[in-house]
Structure 1
Amino acid sequence: MRDFLPIILLGLAGFLIGGVYATWKTARGLSILLGVAAVLAVAGGTGWLIWG
């Protein structure tokens, strides 16, 4: 499972970025929250790949 976690985090980030795109015009607050979560998922996945 440890080897798949960065891939899962990066996939989750892609899913969240899609949510940002879909909700930007209707619910900006939610889309900003999703964007922050996407950035955290990308940072976590990338950091795990580099230092893990």
Structure 2
Amino acid sequence: MDTDLWGLALLVLAGFLAGGVYAMWGVNRVLALALAGCVALAAASGVLRLGYL
């Protein structure tokens, strides 16, 4: 895959994970916070892969 496609895929993954955080927040906050950490890592990786920073 091209570098831009990897960055886009990571940002899309971060979006799906953010939806999971939103859904899990009322059920289990500890798991939602762990998932939020995964969102931050995926979003940061996607932005860095695209070269915005």
User: Normalization by structure 2: what TM-score?
Assistant: 0.89
Distance 2:50 2:11 in 1: 10
Between the two proteins, the alignment pairs up a number of residues equal to 51
5+ unaligned residues in a row in structure 1: which ranges?
none
1:22 CA displacement? 0.1
5+ unaligned residues in a row in structure 2: which ranges?
none
1:19 CA displacement? 0.3
Q: State the Cα RMSD in Å.
A: 1.2
Q: Indicate the residue corresponding to 2:19 in structure 1.
A: 18
Aligned identity (percent) is 43
1:2 CA displacement? 2.6
Runs of 4+ in 1 over 6 A off after TM superposition: none
User: Normalization by structure 1: what TM-score?
Assistant: 0.91
